[in-house]
Amino acid sequence: METLLLTSISHRTMVISARLIAALALLSGTAAAQNLNINLGTTQVSQRPSSTFGAGANQPGFWNLVSANDAATANLVDVNGVITNVAVALSGGFGNFGIANANWNGDDEKLLEWAADVGGIGQGVGAGTITWTFSGLVAGTYEVYSYAIAPDLPQTYRTRVQVTNANEGPQIVGGAWNGQPYALNVTHARHTVTLTAGQTLTVITSDPGTPAGNLATANGFQIKTVTGGGGGPGTPAVAYCFGDGTATPCPCGNTSGFGANEGCLNSLGLGGKLVGQGNALLSNDTFTLVGTRMPNSSALYFQGTAQQSGGMGAVFGDGLRCAAGTITRLGTKTNAGGASAYPTAGDQSVSVRGGVFAAGTREYQVWYRNSADFCTPSGFNLTNAVQATWAP
């Protein structure tokens, strides 16, 4: 087990070792920020991720070290090593903490094991929330990647991430994770926001209130300039339309766990879960849809051109239909171990099979057979949905 390094006493239970070292090294020059990488929870130069490390945003370059013990850090450095006028201020939380996770190594551990202790709402007035305010960003549209997985109990603890005025709503982050690749809603949240001149970027990391005794975490941020809006071009899909009560109520009270980011419960007591992996690039389509937590039955992967009821979904069978508009069947798979994916060997890519030939958004979902006597007589259910924004 590697040594634990802490920059301050946290409200977590942990072994304390070592010390706070040094400060952020600034490079020469001035420029407005376009792309920024930020590692929270330390100013120890030895804990800076390498410049070749792109994390979930696939954005390599210089990594800023920002201490959660400091109310503000000015003159952040962009990924090219140029000093900017961007500053970040924070309020709330319990400062820095560091906990080793035996499953994380290299740059992953530098980004994720050093973190800001958001804490839990049960720890008193004002606990359980850190508000991060970025000033000095130039006008434009940005993708904001917020890393919020707990190094101590990632499979249990959850963090809600909200970006003010973003296209996407709050997202719950957390879950078991053993290393690359980074996974949306497990290691991080992703939001797209357009800023006008002089407007600040505000990110709120907080305790969602469940499970009991939950402690929230903030590990870092990547701010990435994009063209256009939506979920961000060429990046994995954003999940939505969950069966946890945040969308249209499930048909039989078969509500899934809050923050699990899955569909309505099936006869196994699980909610079918869909995630998007790879890049939604028309020129190099590596986008893959992965469904889990389903019975070992047939599963139809399909694409829509619109969100049903504004993303809230509508009751359909034992679950919610969330992908609407023009429907394209991508392929039917047979679940093994409750899981399947599209595409697999021999399948056309998602963009080719889905007839996506120009940039834009598409919605994806899985319909699966659930023939056990459960909920309605229909014998089928659906996963949550995901939205991908395709880029050239």
In this predicted model, what pLDDT tens digit does every residue of 19-68 receive, in sequence order? 222 233 333 333 333 799 999 999 999 999 999 999 998 889 999 999 99
CA dihedral 278, 281, 285, 288 (to 10 degrees): 30
Which residue carries 């945003």 as its tokens? 57
Per-residue pLDDT at 32: 39
Per-residue pLDDT at 261 exceeds 70:
yes
pLDDT band at 276 (very low <50, low <70, confident <90, very high): confident
Tokens at 127, concatenated: 């606990």
Share of the chain above pLDDT 70, in %: 89
> Which two tokens mark 291?
């469904």
- Tell me what the mean pLDDT of segment 8-24 comes to: 35
Residues 325-376: tens digit of each pLDDT: 999 999 999 999 899 999 999 999 999 999 999 988 999 999 999 988 899 9
Pick the range with the lowest mean pLDDT from 2-6, 266-270, 382-386.
2-6
pLDDT single digits (tens) 170-205: 899 999 998 878 998 999 999 988 888 889 999 999
79: left (phi over 0), alpha (psi -120 to 50) or beta: alpha
Asked if 391 and 280 touch (Cβ cutoff 8 Å), the reply is: yes
pLDDT surpasses 60 at 130: yes
pLDDT of residue 291: 92
Q: Tell me, what's the pLDDT at 27?
A: 34
Q: φ, ψ for residue 120 (rounded to 5)?
A: -125, 155
* DSSP-assigned beta bridge partners for residue 6: none
78 vs 5: which has the higher pLDDT: 78
Instruction: Return the pLDDT at 235.
Output: 52
Confidence class for position 277, pLDDT limits 50, 70, 90: confident
Query: pLDDT category, 7, cuts 50, 70, 90?
Result: very low
- Terminal-residue alpha carbon distance, the chain: 44
Residue 74 above 80 pLDDT? yes
CA distance 260 to 242: 8
Predicted pLDDT at 227 = 44
DSSP line for 239-284: EE--TTTTSSPPTTS-PPPTTS---SB-TTS-B-EEEEES--BTTS
In sequence order, what DSSP letters do the residues of 203-234 get, joined into one string?
Answer: EEEE--S-STT--EEE-EEEEEEESS-TT-BT
Return the pLDDT at 246.
Answer: 85
How far apart are the C-alpha atoms of 232 and 361, rounded to whole Å?
9
Return phi, psi of residue 123, to 5°.
-95, 10
Residue type, 164: T
Average pLDDT of every residue of the chain: 87
Amino acid letter, 43: T
Cis peptide before 181 (omega within 30 of 0): yes
pLDDT of residue 279: 80
Classified as helix, coil or strand, 106 is: helix
Residue range 154-167: average pLDDT?
93
Structural domains of the chain, with CATH: 36-226 (2.60.120.260), 238-390 (2.60.40)
pLDDT at 21: 28
Identify which has the larger pLDDT, 324 or 260: 324
